[in-house]
Amino acid sequence: MTSPSTLAKPKPAASPLARLRSIPHLGLLAVLIAIVIFASVRTDAFLNPNNLINVARQVSVVAVIAAGLTLLMVAGGMDFSMGGNVAVTTAVAAQMLSHGWSTAVTLAVSIALSIAVGLVNGAVVTFTRVAPFVATLATATLLDGVALLVIDGMSISIDDHLSTLGNGKTLGLPNLTFVAALVLAVTAFVMRYTTFGRDAFAIGGNEDVARLSGINVVRDKLLLYGLAGALSGLAGIMLLSRLAASSPGTGGLQLQLTAVAAVVIGGTSLAGGKGTIGGTILGVLLLGVVANVLNLLQISSYYQQISVGAVLLVAAVANLMQSRGKH
Amino acid sequence: MRPPVLRVLGVSKSFGGAAALRNVSVEFRPGEVHALMGMNGAGKSTLVQIISGALNPDEGLLEVDGHTQNHLTPRRARRVGISCVPQRRELVMTLTVAENIMLGDLPASGSMVRWNRVRATAQRALTDLGIAIDADAVAGDLTVAEQTMVEVAREVRRGGRVLILDEPTACLGPEAAAQIRELVLRLRDNGVAIVFISHHISEVLHLADRITVLRDGQVTWAGLAKETDEKGLVRDMVGRDVVSRRPVRPAGSPDVGISIRRLCDGRFLDRFDVDVRRGEIVAVLGPAGDAQSRLFDLLSGRRRPDSGTVSIGGRAVRPGRIAHSLASGLRCVTGDRRRLGLIPGLTIDENVLLAQDRLEGRRLHRWGRLAERAAPLRDDYRVVSLVRNPPVEQLSGGNQQKVLLAKWLGTAPSAVLLEDPTNGVDVAAMAEIHSLVDGLTGQGVAVLLASSSAEEVMRLADRVVVVRDGRRIAEYQVDRITRDELLAATLGGAL
């Protein structure tokens, strides 16, 4: 029984350590800062503005995918096919542009296509109750194949179509980064302030309770997978604009795994119900910076993979230890 | 009198400055049922965690067989014979009873499990305690009471001499609870020291030899059960007298609020009829897991009945549709708040407004306004929390139940289904919840109460329909029947 006297008691003054602990994603932030300091000491190239802009451009594509994935995973969903969706979008858009379709039509068709893919995922997961992990892994494989089919295993160049998006800058920052920032900001707003976003937390927290509370779970899930598809499409266009070509291996499972890793490092629960865009941003930055630093230090690609895995592990443990410490 | 097997001496424990236990001393003797009583948050669970080794005390010490035990861990506690059967079942539901009993200790030759030995040893552990359960049954197929018994058998076989039973009869119907009580008495006669935790005062008075009452982390009363009575116990637990008595209610209006006609659902409901007038409380009473526990699924729209109709305020509700059930003005409050009631990771405020916001079609949430809008509901339903707005998973059972009631009853319902509304809740919270339900009738709400507790039915309902094996077997006006007559009627069909 909580007596009124315990309520009135002032909270014990927070120790500096406790205050430090209350900073969200502290462990992740510390790892990121440590890597940045390490990199700037080891190589001058890291803090070079051109390099930083390059990093910003690279992480922008992952950030857009990760934003959609965060919202979906908060609702207890999962989409492994976003990378495959990116591959198909880049392939279709590249073929259309190289065959002389206008940019506007190309964008409309490829985004519509990616939304359709997302809705198919959503429909399978919602109506057949196949585990999202399994269903979307299947579509991921399928889409990777379709992408190869569309470009016939070759590299399709788009010349300087989309170059304003891919290489243009505004106020010294890449346009791609502005697009990513906008997507992240809107997703963060949706997650925190709209009923749709709060529904996602409720569905991920306990789907039965959400349904009984009058939330249209079927509609929300379809929308969430559709949104994940749409953002994959956008990421596909962004990637195409940056690379100016679609080749075998553009997008696909590797990109997908980076996005999943970023979201999970950012503290979003695989079981649903918990997650923040702030954490996802840190996760995306961390992976982007690590990849960049390893490249600059000219470390062999074998060690690169090993290091990325190690960083993932350290960040995940750091995250968990902080959330335990709060209890 | 035999010497105590476990002594707790001057134990104190605090969490982040708030004292959970202050200088508590208790002795547990073999062959004695020792009840721990107190309200939610009085310190019972902290004390249990300390004697089972999950927590270490800040001050004071524990003695087992006269030897001081410093830094007890759950593993060491079990080795010296202290074991705990927690409130939520901890069996591996997909394995057999025998495997569950032998878990972690499977008899094997080399790396091969000797299944005959597993089965035989487990079956003996069960029969020794007079438990008639097949060791080959799958744990998940058993009733909750049987699962509890299997856990008890497991702990006793592992050498448990001090057995902590945390609310073993919560969520059980009268018959199943009686089976558990018989088992407790057999264990006591075998010389086990039993630590029995229960909110049911009459049960404790009948069963316990010795009682220790905690309030705000301190022992407020300790002694033999025969030295106290119901009123005294309540006063020691709450610190004041709690009276929860039926108020005199004006006759309900003639309008029918809820009308259920010929409802059928598998073997659970067979052509079930009931009418509830506005301002009236009608109870459906039956053993746990019988017809009344299907009403929530069917009325909330979670499940489609085989046949039959439900009408709210004279209008038929489309079966099997949650949206239609909500639109009719019916609110269904589950008895299973963990699974179907609340979202554990979300805050109190969000849980309280979860349904209301959706029903109103709200699109944007301003966090400052959220607290403001939730405040009156939190006050009306007396939800108390240490920090302002924690996730509901951190609240005590009583407070969670009040959040659940606030969530649904705050949406201006015209009809309500309440399923075991005071499940796992202490006396004070129970009295508060009862008066909240009384208040509903004053607003002209038709209340259907699905219950497995005769006490609760006697306290709340105007009429009671007794069900057994899915059929209605009797109906009474509550003011023309005694509790014992009602209990006899519930059990009658079994003979």
Band (pLDDT 50/70/90 cuts) for residue A327 is very low
Residues of A in contact with B428 (CB under 8 A): 1
Please tell me the predicted confidence (pLDDT) of residue B377: 87
Residue A274 touches partner B, C-beta closer than 8 Å? yes
- pLDDT score of A21: 64
Residue B76: its H or E element:
helix B74-79
- Specify the pLDDT at position A13: 47
pLDDT tens-digit map of A92-150? 999 998 888 888 999 999 999 999 999 999 999 999 988 898 999 999 999 999 999 98
Phi, psi angle pair for B415, to nearest 5°: -150, 145
Chain B residues within 8 Å of chain A (Cβ atoms): 16-18, 39-42, 215-216, 238, 300, 302, 322-323, 326, 332, 334, 339-346, 350, 354-355, 357-359, 362-367, 384-386, 407, 426, 428
Cα separations in angstroms, A236 against A62, A107, A246, A277: 10, 10, 10, 21
From B223, B218, B162, B212, select the one nearest B187 (Cα to Cα): B162
DSSP character string of A26-83: HHHHHHHHHHHHHHHHH-TTTT-HHHHHHHHHHHHHHHHHHHHHHHHHHTT---TTHH
Please, are residues B334 and B340 in contact by the beta-carbon 8 Å criterion? Answer: yes
- pLDDT tens for residues B94-110? 889 998 888 877 887 77
Residues A12-69 pLDDT 10s: 445 666 666 667 777 788 888 998 998 888 888 888 888 999 899 989 999 999 999 9
Calpha distance B358→A210 (Å, rounded): 10
Confidence at residue A247, expressed as pLDDT on a 0 to 100 scale: 83
C-beta atoms of A209 and B342 within 8 A: yes
Which member of A1, A194, A208 has the closest CB to residue B41? A1
Which H/E stretch holds residue B271? strand B269-277
**Residue A183: its pLDDT value, please?**
96
Question: Percent of chain B having pLDDT more than 90?
Answer: 21
Angle A7-A11-A15 (CA atoms, 0-180°, nearest 5)?
Answer: 160
Q: Among A91-95, A313-317, B12-16, whose mean pLDDT is lowest?
A: A313-317
- Could B363 and A205 be called an inter-chain contact, meaning their C-beta atoms sit closer than 8 Å? no
Percent of chain A as helix, strand, coil, to the nearest 5 = 75, 5, 25
**pLDDT surpasses 60 at A11:** no
Cβ neighbour number for residue B305 with a 10 Å cutoff: 22
Of A250, A225, A219, give the one whose Cα is nearest residue A157: A250
Mean pLDDT of chain A: 85
What does the pLDDT read at residue A14?
A: 52
Instruction: Report the 10 Å Cβ neighbour count for A12.
Output: 10
CB contact under 8 A, A198 and B350: yes
Q: Mind telling me how many Å the CA of A72 is from chain B's nearest CA?
A: 17
Residue A3 has pLDDT above 50, yes or no: no
User: What's the confidence (pLDDT) of residue A9?
Assistant: 37
Closest partner residue to B357 (CB to CB) among A2, A192, A195 is: A195
Residue of chain B whose Cα is closest to the Cα of A4: B384
d(CA A177, nearest CA chain B) in Å:
28
Compute φ and ψ for B419, nearest 5 degrees: -105, 120
Helices and strands (DSSP H and E) totals, chain A:
15, 4
Pairing mode of beta strands B210-215, B193-197: unpaired
Q: What is the pLDDT of residues B381-406, one digit of tens each?
A: 888 777 788 888 888 778 888 999 99
CB contact under 8 A, B363 and A216: no
**A164 in contact with B at a CB cutoff of 8 Å?**
no
In this predicted model, what pLDDT tens digit does every residue of B179-227 receive, in sequence order? 888 889 988 998 899 999 888 888 889 899 999 999 888 999 999 988 8
What is the C-alpha to C-alpha distance for residues A262 and A266, in angstroms, rounded to an integer? Answer: 6
Amino acid at B279: G
pLDDT at residue A4, rounded to an integer:
38
pLDDT at A326 over 50: no
* DSSP conformation letters of B396-452: -HHHHHHHHHHHHHTT--SEEEEESTTTT--HHHHHHHHHHHHHHHHTT-EEEEEES
Residues A179-206 have pLDDT tens digits of 999 999 999 999 989 989 999 999 999 9
CB B344 within 8 A of CB B392: yes
Could you tell me the domains of chain B?
A: 6-238 (3.40.50.300), 256-492 (3.40.50.300)
Q: Which residue of B has its CA nearest to A8?
A: B386
How far is B244 from chain A, CA to nearest CA, in Å?
Answer: 18
| Among A17, A198, A209, the residue to mutate for chain B (most B Cβ within 10 A) | A209
Q: Which residue would you say has higher pLDDT here, B393 or B10?
A: B10
Which amino acid makes up residue B194?
Answer: I
Chain B nearest-CA residue for A206: B343
Partner-chain contact B358 A6, CB within 8 Å: no
Report whether B180 contacts B149 (CB < 8 A): yes
Q: Which domains does chain A have, with CATH numbers?
A: 28-35+43-326 (1.10.3470)
Give A304's pLDDT tier (boundaries 50, 70, 90): confident
Q: Does A195 touch chain B (CB under 8 A)?
A: yes
Closest Cβ opposite residue B322 in set A12, A202, A214: A214
- Of A6, A192, A205, which has the smallest distance from its Cβ to B18's Cβ? A6
How far does the CA of residue A212 sit from the closest CA of chain B (Å)? 6
The Cα of A65 is separated from the nearest Cα of chain B by a number of Å equal to 25
A3 touching chain B per CB within 8 A = yes
